Each structure stands twice: as structure tokens, then as C-alpha cells.
Amino acid sequence: MTDNKPRIINVIANNNPESQKTYRLLVDKLTLKGFVLPEKFDNNAELNICIGGDGAFLRTVHRHKFTNIPFVGINTGHLGFFQEILPENIDIFIEKYMQNNYVIEKIFLVKADICTKDSCFQLYGVNEIVVKGIHSKVVHLEVFIDGNHLEKFCGDGMIISTPVGSTAYNFSSGGSIIYPSLKTLQLTPLSPISSRAYRSLTNSAVIPGELKITIRPEYRYENSILVIVDGIEHRYDNITEINFTIPEKTISRLNFDRNMYWNNLKSKFL
């Protein structure tokens, strides 16, 4: 590497023994190639390498506030949809990276604007944002698409997932798999109740990315709502309305194999 400017790479690993072993191996190999590996997260880095499972990837993205620095994952966990590189393929990964043999993919997020009687808050999710009742209580929600009333929902809650999140909680709850490059949100009901009083959709609905999804809890449920973002619970008092949109903000991921998504899908689920 002949550039005077140091090429900095952040390597982030969880505490799993296999992750720590892979971390040490990767640091040694990258250092020999001339890369700089800081001990703490460096905002001037050109790449973030996350070692672990999908949970480690999501925690890293949230911890570093959806940084613009591209990510790539080395899988030492289980499913590994975000973590596509296997530890035994580290040398191939480094060689491809140094040859610029990859493409950068944009990952769409989901944004929730949560309004209470007093103020509003913003949350961002990579996989999904879930609206549920506390203590697993049934919730009653009014659902609107772009201002149009869709349903008076009764059930355990609603998942609003991104395309990359469609294979996570959404899929296990009966939602559809959406290809990551499609700019959509998916609305998936959790244990919907359909009766004369409540007419709830029993299947997921795929919503175009330019439309807004609005959820309003019935007044008696304003203090019984949990908002769960990528597995992390948030609770706000007196929620009156939650608006879900696809924000301008995205994160980036390196893709070294255009067929990886389909291979991943088959190997993880079939």
C-alpha cells in the first residue's frame, strides 16, 4: 500500500470465544497488509468489519448511530444474514477487498416518529420496529396508510419491517420475504383477532416506500404500548400516534457475490 494516507479499518467483535479468535486472526492479517486497526472506533475509517452474528451487527449499527462507513460481516453466530463471510474465507475476503472486487449496497431503514400528548421522538430500525402491548396484553390499534384508514386492529401487535428485516421476526410471524433492494415497508400482524367488533387483516401487506404508515392506539391503550426496535424495548407514556416511513438515512454494506442473497436464503431456510 503506497498511499501516504493511512487506510483505517474498524474491527468490532462480540465476546464470543470464536469471535475473539477470529478478531485476533483478522487483525494480524490486515496489519500485515498495511491497514491501520484502531483500538477504539474511528470515524475516519474506510470500512467497519463486524464479527459475530446478526445481533452483533445490529448492535454495532445502533451503537455507532448508523454511520456512513460501509459494513461487512464475518459470521461466528448462527443465521448470519448480515454476516456473510465465513472465518475460513478471511484470506479470500481480504484479497477481494484490496482488489476492489465488490459492490456497495444501500440498506433501507425504517423510521418511527412517536408522538405523545407532550412531545415527539424519533427511532430508527434496521430490521423492524414492532408495536406491542406491555406484559403481552392484547392491543387495539387504528391503522392508516397514507392517511387512509385500513383497519381497526386487535391482537398482539404489528411488525413494520424493512426488506432486509423481512427474513427476521417478520418471516417467523408469517410475513413475506422482500428482496433488499426494493424500497418498501411491510406491515405484519401478530396474532390478529377478526370479529364483528375488530376487522383485522390476517396476512402481511407490502407498502410502497413513499407512503406513510400511521398507527394510533385506542385512548385506553396509550400507556400500554411497547415500541421494540431491532429487539430493544422502548416505552413512552401517553402515545397518541406513531408514523412509520423510510428515511433518507441508509447504511451501506459490501457485497462480494451477487448470488449471495439467494444462496443465503437457501442455506438458512431450506
Tell me which residues are annotated as active site: 54
Q: Which has the closest alpha carbon to 243: 130, 113, 131?
A: 113
Q: Which has the closest alpha carbon to 85: 49, 55, 56?
A: 49
As a whole number of angstroms, the distance between CA 205 and CA 201 comes to: 9
Q: CA–CA distance from 76 to each of 59, 94, 255 (Å)?
A: 15, 17, 18
As a whole number of angstroms, the distance between CA 39 and CA 131 comes to: 37
Q: Which has the closest alpha carbon to 243: 222, 200, 214?
A: 214
| DSSP assignment letter at 231 | T
Sequence-ordered alpha helix ranges (H) in the chain = 17-32, 54-63, 90-98, 169-172, 260-269
Q: φ, ψ for residue 224 (rounded to 5)?
A: -115, 20
